[in-house]
Amino acid sequence: MGLFDQILGAIDNPSQQASSSQLGSILSTVQMLSNNSHTDPSTVQSLMSIVGKYARNSLQQKRSHEGGQQAQSFVNQYSGTQPSTQAVQSLFSTPQLQQLVQEGTSRTGLNAGTIQSMLPVLVPLVLNFLQTGASTQNPQGSNSVLDSFLDANGDGEVDIADAMQLAGRYLKR
């Protein structure tokens, strides 16, 4: 089941945190970031996929070293639609950040400075996307969206951009 299917399932499940308004906030923030940086929204979504790829690696490491509850705690702590440099610094090591920016530059055509300025917004957005599967009763418990994301097949492709496009269609934006 794809990431967006997991999110739709979470929206339909009242015991999970996902809502149409949460998806709408994420999409609106991407649109605002795109407008502020004079960048096409699809380019920002592509960059989100790259951020997602690196976030998955970091969260998988966190889960394997500290446990699933710590990975969920991290997502809960840093997810949102507000910029957070602390989220970026807590999720990625300096070498990971350098690789992310380099890959972002080569795949999107954006310059390194633009990418670095977008990361404090994009990281909390990716985490917000992942938080949609958390339980409303026990936010530290199982999260089907995060579990699906972390248990992906490891092909290096994270379907966050696809999920964003599907969310836009779902919300008719």
Contact 41, 25 (CB under 8 A): no
* Residue given tokens 């739709």 in the structure block: 8
pLDDT tens for each residue of 77-130: 999 999 999 999 999 999 999 999 999 999 999 999 999 999 999 999 999 989
pLDDT tens for each residue of 3-58: 778 888 888 898 888 888 998 999 899 999 999 999 999 999 999 999 999 999 99
Q: How far, CA to CA in Å, does 10 sit from each of 14, 112, 170?
A: 8, 35, 14
Pick from 48, 125, 68, 56: which is nearest to 92 by CA?
A: 56
pTM for the full predicted model: 0.87
pLDDT of 159 reads: 65
Q: How far, CA to CA in Å, does 75 sit from each of 10, 39, 56, 84, 168?
A: 16, 27, 11, 13, 23
